[in-house]
Structure formats: C-alpha cells, structure tokens
Amino acid sequence: MSLLEIKNLHACVGDKEILKGIDLTIKAGEVHAIMGPNGSGKSTLSNVLAGHPNYTVTQGTILFKGKNLLDLSPDKRANEGVFLAFQHPIELTGVGTALFLKTALNAKRHYLNEPPLDAVQFMKRLKTRAQALGITDEMLKRPVNVGFSGGEKKRMETFQMAFLEPDFCILDEMDSGLDIDALRIVSDGINVLREPHRSFLMITHFHRLLNYVTPDYIHIMVNGRIVKSGDKTLALHLEENGYEEFK
Amino acid sequence: MKNLSNIYLKKHQDTYKSFQLNKGESIAVYKDEPLELFLLVFQDNVHVKIDLKEPQASCQIHCVYLMGEQQKVQICLDVNHEAKQTKSVQLIRGIATHQSEMKFDGIIRMPQDSQKCIGIQNHRAILLSDKATVQSTPELEIYADDVQCTHGSAIGPLDKEQVFYLTSRGIEEKQAYYLLLSSFLNDLLPLEVQSIAMACLHDYI
C-alpha cells in the first residue's frame, strides 16, 4: 500500500496559486527527491504536507496511510508520522531543547495511547540518539536552535527526526548552508534512518545531497507541476543541462 | 481569570517576601540596601516611585502583567536618580488578551548632578488578541551629561512560525502557546509566584 498519495493538488498563498496539480505516490521505504528551479513550488509542497496555516489547498487530495491528511491539524499529522525538517529551523527563545523534545515525544505517545516516558527513560533515549549525531549536552541545554550555526541547526533537525521516529520525512533543502563535513554528518543521519517502513521526500536544488543519500526516484518540478520523473540518473542529466528544457 | 489581586514581592537576601505598596509613597533606597522588587500585576493600577538617595544605591524592578477580559490597567514605574553613581533596572514582560488595555509609563529621572548613573528599561509584551492593546511610554528625563541610559519596547503577537514549528513536532497548538508564553515570562518570575502566573496563563490561552 502507498504511504502517501497526492492527487491533483492545488494550493495557494493568498490569491496566488503555487501548486497547480501535483500527483505523487510514495510507497513505504522509498526515497524520492524533488528538484526544481527557485520558485517552482517545492517548499510550498513540503509546507502543505506539514499543514502550514499560510497555505490553502484549493483542490485535490492527500492520503497518508489511507487517511485524509488535509483533515488533520499539523500536530495530528506529526503524530501520525509526518516530519518536516525545516529549510530554516526556527529559534525558540527561552524554550529548552530537552523540554521541547520531551513534550513532543510524550504528545506522540499520548496520541498513540502509550504511557509517557519518565525522566530516566527519556534521558536515556535522548543521550543515545544525541551521541550518534554529535549533538552535545551543551546543545541540549540551550533553547531550541538559539545561537546554533547553520550546520548545528540542520544537525538538530536530523536529530529530532531520529528521536521522534516518523514514518514519512520531508527534508526541505537539508543541504543548504552546509559545508562538506556537516553535509556528511546530516546525510549519515538520514541514511541510518532508512528502513522498510520509513519514506523520505527530499527537496533540493543540487545534485550534491543525492551523492550522499541515493534516491529511488527523482521528480522535476517546474511552475507548480511535476514535469518529469525518473531514476537517479535524472539528476546527472539536470546537472549538465539545467532546467531550461523543462520550462 | 477574574479577581486575582496583584502580588508585590521584595527580595531579602535570597528569598522574596510580600511587600506593601502604598499609594503615592516613595521608596527611598540607600547604598547598603539595594532594592529588588517583583510585581505581578493582574488588575489594579500600580504606581511605584523610587528615589535612589546616595551614590552606589541601586534598584531592580521586575514586573510581569497578565491581562484579559475588559481590564484596563496602568503601570507607572518612576525612578529618580537623586544621587550620582546610582543604578536602576526596570524589566517588564506582559501578556494581554481579549479586549484588555495596558498603559505603561516608565520614567527615569537623572537630574544635572546625577553623573555616572546607569538606567536600563526594557518592556516586552505579547498580544494574544487583535483587540488587546498595550501602550508603552518611556520617559527619560536626563539633565546630566555623563550617564548611561537605555530603553526598549517590543509589543506584538506571538510568532506564528514558532507555533507552527512546535505543532509540526506533534505538540497541540494550545500547548505550543503555553510553552512559548511560559518561556517568555519564566526568566522574570520568581519561583514563589510561578504556579499562580501559569494557572492564569492557562486560562487565557
């Protein structure tokens, strides 16, 4: 069964239509990449999937695990297993990272009718996952993303993903603003999470992320539509020829 | 939350004790006894007048207000640097919702002889409704020419992107508001009043 099924999705910001009929099906375990020029609607698609209130869906459907995603608030979507790794992670002044993660994790457990983790279980889980991504104790003590470098913010997004164990991860330009070392750490973090039940949608401008995380499918998005889909070789073709032929 | 009375606290060594604030009365501060006041304002008007009487005297006023319904409240903090080399800090954080109206006047007076004084005032407020208003008026009366004085005011709604970030991690919107607002107030709130302030906040979200 498909994990995600998008049919004829149209979405607007204000009066402006950005998505003009997206069809996309993602099965469990698959990694899809969406590439496209600036302003083609890639980030809009990721925000619409996560339920950002600035975007209005005017037509079409999104089914996630057979449920109508558009009926669900952003928190319910997250607890159903959707995770958006932000292109620009938000700074939460005053909100401690550990408290934030505990609240998020226990919200999900509550949603799934599981008992909350106590302090000891929580800390154990936190430390194990943090270590793998080079998240230091000092970072966990700071308010969420406050004072983090670009690379640290992306590492923190990857860490949150590992910590919350979603089934569907949307990575919105995870590679932007990363140096080679940070890109490798983040990519390793993503690759470790690849499992038969978990799918990824990676949004990127560049081929370089795809060198580290190999996608099963690549889609080219131009002007609010997917104009071509193919396997990973499509990215190489794009690297050489640009988007001009698809416009 | 209706009918909560204001709470005034004064710090003695490491603990806060209840403090009687009399209308129209000035509090005189001397160098051996720095004044640390905390004001939790729900509904009554507040007028605090402080005179820094001798060099090295200092005062720190932390004020938190939580307003809702049709409440109209005025807070006036008036610090007079009577002597040179005195220091005052006013930190104010507030949350206003429904149709409430807050008027804040923060006065710092530095007469001609009060050289080398430091005066700091910072007021930040979050509006939870389009109909709530907060009006902030810093009044700096400075006649001395060798002083440091800063003031800042920032009033606005809660950042919707922060709320979305939290909800995108599975946290309900209401709880997201609570997390953001309690963090906004927490660094000013003494432990003694945290539970009462948080209960009021819960009520307003």
Whether B163 is covered by a domain: the verdict is no
Whether B65 is covered by a domain: the verdict is yes
Least confident of A133-137, A214-218, B26-30, B160-164: A133-137
Flag if A100 and B169 touch (Cβ within 8 Å). yes
For residue A222, what pLDDT band results from cuts at 50, 70 and 90? very high
Q: Which of B160, B165, B186 shows the shortest C-beta gap to A92?
A: B165
Q: Which of B160, B169, B173 shows the shortest C-beta gap to A160?
A: B169
Flag if B170 and A164 touch (Cβ within 8 Å). yes
Whether B183 is covered by a domain: the verdict is no
Residue A245 gets which letter from DSSP?
A: G
Paired strand residues for B35: B59
What percent of chain B stands above pLDDT 90? 77
- What domains are defined for chain A? 2-246 (3.40.50.300)
Q: Which domain holds residue B61?
A: 7-158
Whether B179 is covered by a domain: the verdict is no
pLDDT digits (tens, 9 = 90+) for A12-24: 999 999 999 999 9
**Contact with chain A for residue B162, Cβ under 8 A:** yes
Mean pLDDT of B117-136: 96
pLDDT at B105: 95
pLDDT reading at B2 higher than 70: no
Q: Which of B162, B172, B175 shows the shortest C-beta gap to A92?
A: B162
CA distance linking residue A242 with residue A158, whole number of Å: 29
Please state, rounded to an integer, the average pLDDT across all residues of chain B: 93
pLDDT at B191: 86
pLDDT at A237: 83
pLDDT at B4: 83
Least confident of A52-61, A78-87, A175-184, B159-168: A175-184
pLDDT at A7: 96
Whether B43 is covered by a domain: the verdict is yes
ipTM confidence? 0.95
For residue B58, what pLDDT band results from cuts at 50, 70 and 90? very high
In order, the DSSP letters of B133-191 are: EEEEEEEEEE--SS-EEEEEEEEEE--HHHHHHHHTTT--HHHHHHHHHHHHHHTTS-H
For residue A178, what pLDDT band results from cuts at 50, 70 and 90? confident
pLDDT reading at B1 higher than 60: no
Six-digit token string for B49:
């007048």
What percent of chain B stands above pLDDT 70? 99
CA distance linking residue B167 with residue B178, whole number of Å: 12
Mutate to test the interface with B, among A92, A105, A112 (most CBs of B within 10 A): A92
CB proximity list for A93: less than 8 A, separation 6 or greater: A143, A146, B183, B184
For residue A27, what pLDDT band results from cuts at 50, 70 and 90? very high
More confident residue, B51 or A239: B51
- CA R_g for chain B: 18
pLDDT at A105: 95
Flag if A100 and B186 touch (Cβ within 8 Å). no
Whether B47 is covered by a domain: the verdict is yes
H runs (alpha helix) in chain B: 160-167, 173-186, 191-204
Whether B121 is covered by a domain: the verdict is yes
More confident residue, A234 or A44: A44
What percent of chain A stands above pLDDT 90? 68
H runs (alpha helix) in chain A: 42-50, 74-80, 97-111, 119-132, 137-141, 150-164, 180-193, 208-212, 233-241
pLDDT at A239: 80
Neighbours of A92 (CB within 10 A): 21
Whether B165 is covered by a domain: the verdict is no
**Contact with chain B for residue A112, Cβ under 8 A:** no
CA distance linking residue B132 with residue B98, whole number of Å: 6
For residue A207, what pLDDT band results from cuts at 50, 70 and 90? confident
Edge-to-edge strands, sheet with A225-230: A82-85, A168-172, A199-204, A31-35, A217-222, A225-230
pLDDT reading at B187 higher than 90: no
Burial class (CB within 10 angstroms; exposed 0-12, middle 13-18, buried 19+) of B157: exposed
Least confident of A121-135, A214-228, B72-86: A121-135
pLDDT reading at B117 higher than 90: yes
CA distance linking residue B98 with residue A234, whole number of Å: 55
**Number of structural domains found in chain B:** 1
What percent of chain A stands above pLDDT 70? 100
Nearest chain A residue (CA) to B174 = A75
CA distance linking residue B83 with residue B55, whole number of Å: 5
